[in-house]
Chain A
Amino acid sequence: MEKESFVSITTLTKENILSLLRDAEYFEKHPNHKVLDGKVVATLFFEPSTRTRLSFETAVNRLGGRVIGFSDPNSTSSTKGESLKDTIMMVSNYVDLIIMRHYLEGAANYAAEISPVPIINAGDGANQHPSQTMLDLYSIYRTQGHLDNLEITLVGDLKYGRTVHSLIMALWYFKPKFNFVACDELRMPNEYKEFCDQHNIEYVETTDFSEEVINKSDIIYMTRVQRERFSDLMEYEKVKNLYTLKNSMLEGSKENLRILHPLPRVNEISYDVDNNPKAYYFQQAKNGLYAREAIICNVLGVNVRKELDNE
């Protein structure tokens, strides 16, 4: 079997993405599908991330595989100075697949190079978190029925938020139109605006989270504005409430609008939005399970839909 790791969203083709989305759709209907019987998967979390780890481990369990691993880097030999290479080489002796989260950027790419078994990147520093991007894409696909020509508004921390950066890179195949809503301190970096220019993606940049922007959006993707990102705390106090979504702001919004958020949220979405049928962030987190089941099967070369056709 060809070893195929899942490290970065930027290496996926449009066909790869659509195929993963269709697999995720299948797993939403059949979350328990024992295709990993007899397989052992390692979850190596060199940096704690409970949400991501539970989602991956649930996915493996629902596919009938077994999980080994660690969630606390202090309990591993990397604290004794063992290199990442040695850890990967040791663990790959035992398992069929490694799911890894690391605090260093590029760690997943390196692990994929040296490991004899496939690697799934569950986040490497500020670099990539491709399973998050897949679940975001699946949530958009699931709520809109397609990914083409959507108007997507990204709000909050557009400077450091890697989820919004990856989303731009992944959506370019589908001719989106973006609204970037952020204060000056947390504007979208030039690198990504240049990416949009190069790929003929339309975007509007604004500091004003206005009804006009809300009313034309198909998707609003909210992100957390973090206090520690500000050099000037006065500035933080000034902007923290400017990018809060309240239920009253959604009155004139489109029928198909859905609100996404990678969670955890703090105060950027008011609790009164939760009961609005347009709020989708909790289902979005649930979609992480289906997207991750699809990614795991893809990496292990299990063709889910082909098996389905044979049933």
Chain B
Amino acid sequence: MSNVKKELAVAALENGTVIDHIPTSALFKVASILDLQNIQSSVTIGNNLESRRMGKKGIIKIADVFFPEIVLNRIAVFAPTAKINIIKNFKIVEKYAVEVPHDLIDIVKCKNPKCITNNEPMKTHFEVVDKENMVLKCHYCERCLDKDDIELK
């Protein structure tokens, strides 16, 4: 029985979205970006699971929900390694890696206390100026954020 999938620690989905290979430190940020708290169908979240590629990983399975790709790409800011599996009838019908979008609307908080976005009820807007090193630039105050400074709004 060597071909039994040992890593199937979380129940299989009939229909829905699986987000795999999430860095363990980013799992709850991903959950927050996708607003999983307000999803009514069953959601399974696993963290610190064994991964051949990553050592430890996080995984999220959401039944009966199919997000637009543009929504899923938002998680790339924190989880650039994440892979999306679209499941229909217990089969993977589509599989792709998330891609960092050019613009991040209302996802990240600006670090500059004198930025208008921290003083006015409004959406934040960042442009990704360096995809490799995840450098973001505030569309309003024009300050740059490094990878380590990125915080969820």
Interface residues of B in 87-141 (CB under 8 A from A): 112, 114-117, 119-122, 138-141
Q: Known interface pairs A109-B140, A125-B141. Does A103 touch B114 (Cβ–Cβ under 8 Å)?
A: yes
A103 to B119, CA, bound (A): 11
Q: Is A174 an interface residue (CB 8 A)?
A: no
State the 3 A-B residue pairs at the shortest beta-carbon distance, nearest first: A106-B140, A105-B141, A106-B141
**B116, B119, B140, B143, most chain A CB atoms within 10 A:** B116
Residues of chain A having any CB pair with chain B under 8 Å: 8, 10, 83-85, 102-107, 109-110, 124-128, 191
Partner of A127, one of B117, B120, B141, B144: B141
Q: Is B142 an interface residue (CB 8 A)?
A: yes
**B122, B138, B139, most chain A CB atoms within 10 A:** B122
Q: How many inter-chain contacts with C-beta < 8 Å in the A-B complex?
A: 50
Residues of chain B having any CB pair with chain A under 8 Å: 112, 114-117, 119-122, 138-144
**Is the Cβ of B140 less than 8 Å from the Cβ of A110?**
yes
**Is the Cβ of A85 less than 8 Å from the Cβ of B114?**
no
Give the chain A neighbours of B117 by CB distance below 8 A: 106, 110
A223–chain B nearest beta-carbon distance, Å:
20
A109–chain B nearest beta-carbon distance, Å:
5
Give the chain A neighbours of B141 by CB distance below 8 A: 105-106, 125, 127
Partner of A109, one of B119, B139, B143: B139
Chain B residue at minimum C-beta to C-beta distance from A110: B116
Give the chain A neighbours of B144 by CB distance below 8 A: 191
Q: Known interface pairs A85-B122, A110-B122. Does A105 touch B115 (Cβ–Cβ under 8 Å)?
A: yes
A203 to B41, CA, bound (A): 61
**Is the Cβ of B114 less than 8 Å from the Cβ of A104?**
yes
**Is the Cβ of A125 less than 8 Å from the Cβ of B120?**
no
A220 to B121, CA, bound (A): 43
B34–chain A nearest beta-carbon distance, Å:
27
A131 to B107, CA, bound (A): 32
**Is the Cβ of B121 less than 8 Å from the Cβ of A125?**
no
**B117, B138, B140, most chain A CB atoms within 10 A:** B140
Give the chain B neighbours of A128 by CB distance below 8 A: 142
Give the chain B neighbours of A102 by CB distance below 8 A: 116
**Is the Cβ of A84 less than 8 Å from the Cβ of B114?**
no
Q: Known interface pairs A104-B116, A105-B116, A107-B116. Does A83 touch B121 (Cβ–Cβ under 8 Å)?
A: yes
- Of the A-B pairs whose beta carbons lie under 8 Å apart in the complex, a sample of 19, sorted by A's number, is A8-B142, A83-B121, A84-B116, A104-B114, A104-B116, A104-B120, A105-B112, A105-B114, A105-B142, A106-B141, A106-B142, A107-B116, A109-B116, A109-B140, A110-B117, A110-B140, A125-B141, A126-B114, A127-B142
